[in-house]
């Protein structure tokens, strides 16, 4: 009788659930179909009837990007070129000249030639401005000019470029280029190994595995894993790298989504290399996504001491979905959670402020979690290091200096005007900083702050109201004081700017490989990591 009663209750409940689910699905499907039909008819009428000629491709591109901008910055439409760029990022392999190149309106700038690759062998250097590829002028080429440098292996391409005002030519023989996930590993001292992991492509765990084994064979009894500036990449590679230091069968990360099939738990699948070797992981504000999975998991499992500054705070997972005509859309499908259960997403894209900007999770809203040994850790703001080394706060003025290539261009001029014999002992002086400030003035560096924009709008409004006579003098005084403040910001960031200049200059003389050697001698975070690792008491103290 009881079983019959249960069936009588359960069957209607199941039927009701199925009905509601099916109804919800039908409502969603109808709404999607309705909106597509509205958009299709609007798009057709617009292109057929608008007073001037329209470009359907550009209109659609704008429509798609505007729609996705309302979600988060990681949900993106990818055209065929973007898809190929993503493939290169994930595999690290392509055929070309072997250099990082920046595409500008009228030129291609060599940002960094890779050592012993074609561009380097042909004599090209950072700062060289390519103005012609073959017979094609960059300034008149309408598509992506960077594609002109690509081609089949062993084919030659002639480039015309400017260096320090002089026009030169070079013939470059294209080759297969491999962008390493681990661009450098070496011994810091007799017992400490150092591994730089710069990206999470599909070779990341294999290269880290090789570097770890090699360093142990050289006598490494402790390891520094450098994830600074690493923007992330493939989730599985992050799990496999954690697995190098963690036993098989350990939970590393959990993903949660509204779509059931994306709700997954990821455990280590392989036998580790070394579960006991003391480990320090370096992070900074540029360490994101997969870098935060690695550092967050190793922190939660009390397997590593984290040194540096707070990480970026990207707790979202994306997956590419194929569309038509070789395009894709990369969609944020889930949030990820470290072993302790925390999501380190720092920006809330779903509850924006009045200006439509994503807001940072406030510290008072952070939730507390516990590591395996009971240490307190928090969500909501990236991975917080166990040993904090203050990072320079990039003001908008400093960002403008960097984004306008003024650090890069100054380093180029420095390289051609200084004969540095021992780059490992390069130390820029107060005189160099004064020269740099003069360089900013000579190159007419100007930056309009948000404060200046607001004051300008206020003055314009005052003019419209015929009130400007009363406030013009005050306005001029405020602008004068702001300019003094901007100059002061540059002076306040002297140490940071000299650091950026030094790093860029070192690369000119010794490539990126030489920069890592320079770091091992001068870098504050590496020094601190070495210090922590050299004292078992200090190291274990952070993990208790």
Catalytic residues: 289, 300, 314
The partner residues of 77 in beta bridges, in order of sequence, read 329
**Beta strands 192-196 and 222-226, pairing class:** parallel
- Token pair of 255 as six digits: 């993903």
Distance in Å from the first CA to the final CA of the chain: 58
The partner residues of 223 in beta bridges, in order of sequence, read 193, 279
- Token pair of 410 as six digits: 């100054």
Distance CA 391, CA 493 (A): 11
CB atoms within 10 A of CB 12: 10
Phi, psi of 176 (to 5 degrees): -70, 130
CB atoms within 10 A of CB 298: 25
Handedness of CA 342, 343, 347, 348 (dihedral sign): negative
Distance CA 191, CA 220 (A): 5
The partner residues of 256 in beta bridges, in order of sequence, read 335
Distance CA 241, CA 196 (A): 13
505, containing H or E segment:
helix 494-522
- Token pair of 69 as six digits: 């901008």
Is the separation of the CB atoms in 483 and 490 below 8 Å?
no
Residues recorded for the chain? 544
Instruction: State how far the alpha carbon of 470 is from the alpha carbons of 151, 466, 467, in Å.
Output: 65, 9, 6
Q: What is the CA radius of gyration of the chain?
A: 28
């Amino acid at each position: 009788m009881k079983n019959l009663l249960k069936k009588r209750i359960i069957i209607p409940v199941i039927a009701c659930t199925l009905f509601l689910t099916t109804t919800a699905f039908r409502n969603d499907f109808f709404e999607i179909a309705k909106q597509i039909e509205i958009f299709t008819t609007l798009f057709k009428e617009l292109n057929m009837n608008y007073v001037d000629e329209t470009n359907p491709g550009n209109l659609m591109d704008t429509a798609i990007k505007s729609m996705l901008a309302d979600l988060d910055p990681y949900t993106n439409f990818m055209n065929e070129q973007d898809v190929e760029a993503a493939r290169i990022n994930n595999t690290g392999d392509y055929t070309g000249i072997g250099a990082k190149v920046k595409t500008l309106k009228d030129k291609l700038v060599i940002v960094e030639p890779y050592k012993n690759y074609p561009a380097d062998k042909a004599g090209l250097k950072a700062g060289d401005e390519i103005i012609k590829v073959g017979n094609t002028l960059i300034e008149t080429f309408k598509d992506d000019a960077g594609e002109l440098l690509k081609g089949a292996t062993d084919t030659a391409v002639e480039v015309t470029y400017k260096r320090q005002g002089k026009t030169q030519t070079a013939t470059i023989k294209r080759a297969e280029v491999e962008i390493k996930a681990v661009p450098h590993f070496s011994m810091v001292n007799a017992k400490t190994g150092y591994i730089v992991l710069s990206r999470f492509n599909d070779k990341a765990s294999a290269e880290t595995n090789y570097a770890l084994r090699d360093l142990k064979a050289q006598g490494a009894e402790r390891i520094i894993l450098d994830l600074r500036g690493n923007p992330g990449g493939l989730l599985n590679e992050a799990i496999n790298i954690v697995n190098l230091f963690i036993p098989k069968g350990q939970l590393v990360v959990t993903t949660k989504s509204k779509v059931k099939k994306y709700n997954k738990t990821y455990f280590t699948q392989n036998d580790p290399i070394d579960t006991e070797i003391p480990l320090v992981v370096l992070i900074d504000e540029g360490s994101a996504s997969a870098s935060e999975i690695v550092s967050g998991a190793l922190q939660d499992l009390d397997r590593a001491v984290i040194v540096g500054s707070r990480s970026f705070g990207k707790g979202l997972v994306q997956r590419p979905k194929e569309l038509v005509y070789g395009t894709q859309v990369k969609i944020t499908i889930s949030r990820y959670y470290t072993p302790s259960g925390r999501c380190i997403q720092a920006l809330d894209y779903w509850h924006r402020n009045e200006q439509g900007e994503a807001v940072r999770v406030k510290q008072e809203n952070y939730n507390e979690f516990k590591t395996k040994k009971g240490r307190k850790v928090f969500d909501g703001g990236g991975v917080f290091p166990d040993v904090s080394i203050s990072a320079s706060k990039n003001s908008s003025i400093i960002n403008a200096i960097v984004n306008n290539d003024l650090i890069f261009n100054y380093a180029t001029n420095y390289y051609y005007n200084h004969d540095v014999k021992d780059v490992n002992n390069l130390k820029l002086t107060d005189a160099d900083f004064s020269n740099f400030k003069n360089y900013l003035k000579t190159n007419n560096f100007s930056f309009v702050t948000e404060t200046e924009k607001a004051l300008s709008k206020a003055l314009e409004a005052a003019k419209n109201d015929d009130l400007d006579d009363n406030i013009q003098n005050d306005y001029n005084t405020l602008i004068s004081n702001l300019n003094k403040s901007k100059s002061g910001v540059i002076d306040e960031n002297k140490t940071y700017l000299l650091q950026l200049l030094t790093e860029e200059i070192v690369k000119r003389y010794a490539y990126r490989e030489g920069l890592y050697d320079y770091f091992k001698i001068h870098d504050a975070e590496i020094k601190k990591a070495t210090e922590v690792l050299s004292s078992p008491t200090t190291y274990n103290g952070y993990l208790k």
